[in-house]
Structure 1
Amino acid sequence: MAIDDDIALLERVPTFSVLGREALRVLVIGSESKALQQGEVLFREGDVADAGYVVEIGSLRAIGRERLMQQVELSRGTLIGETALLVQTRRPMTVMAAEPASVMRIPRALFIKMLQGYPTVARRLQQTLSERTQRFVNDLAKVRKVLDVSEEPKDVPPAKASEPPKADEAKPAPKS
């Protein structure tokens, strides 16, 4: 792909869309393209993550052990490993090519160096990620309200307001 085509691809990625063409050009020039054959593993769950990937061509499949993340299809323009661009982490899923595919590998060191070179871009990205995190927290609060249950199990009737014990119930009977 030509540099301008790669920049256009990154502009479609929500995380990268706020960076601007100059910063994206740095990422494109410093990134590397990796071709994958169908069934080839890009990385495995638990691997140390030192880069993010953007799907250029084809599609990939992410498979995790957790029931909620069994299988996810990843197509052109999908960013894989956003967190790995900023901090050291481990891969939460195994990702493999669902068909012949190509990905752009963006190393964390390159991404951080780009942010250091473009402080305005770094602030914009920080603001964008903060807003996204706040929306996520708000959504979680809504989910919590829906799922929130009282302390009492539903199949057990609530306890009646307790009355003070009667004098003869307050103390155990003396042993004879």
Structure 2
Amino acid sequence: MGLNDDIAALEAVPTFAGIEREALRLVAFAAESRILRAGDVLFRRGEPADAGYLVRSGAIALDARDDGSPTEYVAGPGVLIGELALFAETKRPATAIAREPSSVTKLPRSVMRRVLVEFPDVAAHLRARFVERLNAMATDLAAVRRTLLSIDR
């Protein structure tokens, strides 16, 4: 895949939607492609997280329990795994295992930090998107709280 294909794939991710193309070009240029076989571990729960991964093809199972129980979530093409790791130091909350032959694009945090410095409009855009998402999450949590309180009555 070429650089323009990588940029187009990034533009399709909600986190990157609306970000100027030159900033995405920098991210795409620094990104690393990985091919995984079924059963390959992309990362393990508890490991330091220094990058996000864009699933390009296949399916990546995310298992937060590591106890052999059924996987809670499977990420398919177009899904960004480890978004928080793009912006903050954190540990992996789950183990990611390829369910089938898959390809991912690794997006290093160091590149995102560079983008935020070199493209201040991108930083403002991302901040606004995160505020929207946090407000929506707070609304959803309030609805869950009301439901739980009504059950207790």
Q: 2:106 maps to which residue?
A: 105
Over 3 Å off, 4+ runs:
none
Q: 1:82 maps to which residue?
A: 83
CA drift at 1:70: 3.9
User: Please, what TM-score do these two structures have when normalized by structure 1?
Assistant: 0.81
Report the 3-state secondary structure (helix = DSSP H, G, I; strand = E; otherwise coil) of the residue aligned with 1:146: helix
Q: 2:11 maps to which residue?
A: 11
Number of aligned residue pairs:
151
Q: 1:38 maps to which residue?
A: 38
Kept in 2, the 8 Å contact 1:55–1:79? The answer is yes
What does residue range 49-128 of structure 1 map to in structure 2 within 5 Å? 49-65=49-65, 70-128=71-129
Report the 3-state secondary structure (helix = DSSP H, G, I; strand = E; otherwise coil) of the residue aligned with 1:77: coil
Gaps of 5+ in 1: 155-176
In the alignment, the residues of structure 1 paired with residue 94 and residue 66 of structure 2 have an alpha-carbon distance, to the nearest angstrom, of 9
- AA aligned to 2:16 is F
Q: Percent identity?
A: 42
Superimposed CA distance per residue, residues 5-49 of structure 1 (whole angstroms, 9 cap, x where no aligned partner): 111111111001132211111100011111111100000011110
Kept in 2, the 8 Å contact 1:55–1:78? The answer is yes
Report the 3-state secondary structure (helix = DSSP H, G, I; strand = E; otherwise coil) of the residue aligned with 1:148: helix
Gaps of 5+ in 2: none
- AA aligned to 1:39 is G
Report the 3-state secondary structure (helix = DSSP H, G, I; strand = E; otherwise coil) of the residue aligned with 2:16: coil
**Structure (1 or 2) with the larger CA radius of gyration:** 1
Report the 3-state secondary structure (helix = DSSP H, G, I; strand = E; otherwise coil) of the residue aligned with 2:123: helix
| Structure with larger RCO (C-alpha < 8 A, sep 6+) | 2
Coordinate RMSD, CA, aligned: 1.9
Kept in 1, the 8 Å contact 2:62–2:73? The answer is yes
In the alignment, the residues of structure 2 paired with residue 85 and residue 145 of structure 1 have an alpha-carbon distance, to the nearest angstrom, of 33
Q: Which structure's residues are more often helix, by fraction?
A: 2
User: Please, what TM-score do these two structures have when normalized by structure 2?
Assistant: 0.92
Q: 1:141 maps to which residue?
A: 142
